[in-house]
Chains A and B, each alone.
Chain A
Amino acid sequence: MTDTPDRSREPTHTGTSMSASGLEEWFVREVLPLEAALMQFLRRSLRNKDDADDVCQDVYALVCEAAQQKQPHPVKPFVFTVARNLLINRVRRDQIVSIEAVADLDVLGIAVDEPGPDRSVMARQDLHRLQAALEHLPPRCRQAVVLRKIDGLSYREIAARMGIGEDTVSEYLTHGMFALADMLNADAPQKGDAS
């Protein structure tokens, strides 16, 4: 990483360091549920979704890097501070005329002190969201995902059922995985959304 966040502006973080296997579990539990809010924040400054995705990816990497040393607590302000600092660097580098990034987070409508979405609540919402996400997949891709996930068929069975080769099943599932990751994380509805 050439873009290191300005540590002086980050909230202090305390806690214990994590094992390598604990990092994934921590990331999935604590950081991923913030993605929708994080993307909303990034998209204020970066109109291009790919650019926002790039910053999001670097936020994840830096947050996990920090967590390997010391688990940030609370997580949410830490994540957003890292995001803001990355945005500042990016704006400097790319001369994007946008300074949303540097406005104080608390006036951005992002209550950083408020805990992130609760995973148990998310789990209850998951079924609805999953259904909606599936509906957004291309029809053939959706069919492959449904045959795999709901009917539990093998690749060979899916290929036979759909009248396609197994490599095409692979393609459909790969795309399905990619798209579902976006829809279940970035596009998750936010608590307090205006709409």
Chain B
Amino acid sequence: MSDPVAPERAKDVRAAAAAWLERRERGAWSNDQQTAFDAWMNASLQHRTAYWRVADAWHRTDRLRVLGAPMRAQAASPKKTAPWLFRGMAAALVVAMAGGVAYKTYFANPAAKTYSTTIGGRETLAFADGSEIDLNTDTVVRTAVSRDKRMVWLDKGEAYFRIKHDAAHPFVVIAGGHRVTDLGTQFIVRREEGRLEVSLVEGRAQVDAANGSVRPETLKPGDVLVATATTMAVTKKAPAVLTDKLGWRQGVIVFRHTTLADAAAEFNRYSNTQLVIKGGETAHLTVVGTFRANDMTSFVEVAQTIFGLKAARRDNEIVLSR
């Protein structure tokens, strides 16, 4: 019990402020009431600001008088469904049928231009057809994009694809043993050791495996597919989750109830210095926050402050522990 007096809850203070305002509104205001009101107001700045706040809102309501008539409900206009959704679906059917053509060559390794980013680096590739690829930290792609064929190999790392749709020339991303066929889309592909994650932001895309071990999946907006060598699973995520996943394009990492262990792994992608969390209990603490991807130090300071952790710094390592 550090507080000698429990602080007043805001909703109680605000209710009291509204009650005072209403008593003044009603009129027939006595000296005693004024004295009591002054005492309440002088008790704290919380009281005063709450009163100013409710009084300001009530006075602003005076503007209603210019309307001179009772309110009429204004029907909220329903949000329009994005028309591309439907166009995308039609195109999806066409391309899915053509999907089997030249299957093998997609997984071959032809000569192509190579682009890469360093650890902590970021780059955007723009193509003549208007398509763009954002490369995140420590990423390698090879591209073979021409008028009649559009292929990109994600050899390592993470990239965000914004593809100008062309039904005759689908945009194909090869990541290890998997192929992502764009059907007019924006999507993120993240490749890690033994794991591939495809997050669909807009449009449609199809994912299949080179060895045909799993049934191809067609992704819709919000779908996040996680594939290993032998499995593929799709989960539907809220739009906010995908926005968070794209935080790196603004140079930030977003955590929403992420364990400290996972958060550290995420920071480690962007830095040569590696963050190590010691202790199972510590590793399971969860964090919510938005951080600069290239600023591990701030994150460490924050974790120290909030969780009371110790940080030991060595050459290329920071160890966080109880």
User: Which A residues are within 8 Å of any B CB, using their own CB?
Assistant: 2, 24, 27-28, 32, 35, 44-45, 50, 53-54, 56-58, 60-62, 64-65, 88, 91-93, 97-100, 102-104, 107-109, 123, 126-127, 130-132, 134-135, 142, 145-146, 148-150, 152, 155, 170, 173-175, 177-178, 180-182, 184-185
Contact = CB atoms under 8 A, between A and B. Distances in A.
Max count, chain B CB within 10 A of own CB: residue among A103, A132, A145: A103
A60 B44 CA distance: 11
Size class of B's contact patch?
A: 35 or more
A178 B54 contact: yes
A2 B62 CA distance: 38
A46 to B, nearest CB: 10
Interface stretch (B11-19, B230-238, B271-279): B11-19
Given A99-B303, A173-B22, A180 B61 contact: yes
B52 interface: yes
B243 to A, nearest CB: 8
B61 A145 contact: yes
B39 interface: no
Interface in B5-49: 7, 9-11, 13-15, 18-19, 21-22, 25-26, 44-46, 48-49
A35 B10 CA distance: 14
A92 B307 CA distance: 8
Q: Which of B49, B68, B288 has the most CB of A within 10 A?
A: B49
Nearest to B59: A28
Contacts of B285: 97
| Prevailing SS type, chain B contact patch | helix
Interface in B294-320: 298, 302-303, 305-307
Given A58-B46, A152-B65, A177 B22 contact: yes
B50 interface: yes
Contacts of B25: 148, 173
Interface in B62-104: 62-71, 73-74
Closest 9 CB pairs of A and B: A53-B10, A61-B45, A60-B49, A57-B10, A181-B57, A178-B18, A181-B54, A174-B22, A177-B18
Interface in B251-307: 251-252, 285-292, 298, 302-303, 305-307
Contact of A93 (B2, B49, B65, B66): B2
A146 B71 contact: yes
B11 A126 contact: no
A53 B17 CA distance: 14
B60 interface: yes
27 contacts: A27-B49, A53-B10, A60-B53, A61-B46, A61-B49, A88-B306, A92-B306, A97-B288, A100-B288, A103-B291, A107-B292, A127-B66, A130-B60, A130-B61, A132-B74, A135-B73, A142-B71, A155-B26, A173-B25, A174-B19, A174-B22, A177-B18, A177-B21, A180-B58, A181-B54, A181-B58, A184-B61
Interface SS of chain A: helix, strand, loop or mixed?
helix
Contacts of A178: 14-15, 18, 54
Contacts of B57: 177, 180-181, 184-185
A53 B48 contact: no
Contacts of A152: 65
Contacts of A100: 288-290
A127 B67 contact: yes
Given A54-B7, A54-B10, A145-B61, A27 B52 contact: yes
B154 to A, nearest CB: 27
B22 A107 contact: no
A170 B50 CA distance: 19
Contacts of A142: 71
Contacts of A97: 285-288, 307
Nearest to B19: A174
B70 A99 contact: no
B58 A104 contact: no
Contacts of B252: 107
A107 B61 contact: no
B193 interface: no
B56 interface: yes
A100 B45 CA distance: 27
A167 B67 CA distance: 28
B9 A104 contact: no
A114 to B, nearest CB: 16
Contacts of B56: 28, 32, 181
Nearest to A29: B56
Nearest to B298: A104
Contacts of A182: 14
B98 to A, nearest CB: 36
B22 A185 contact: no
B148 interface: no
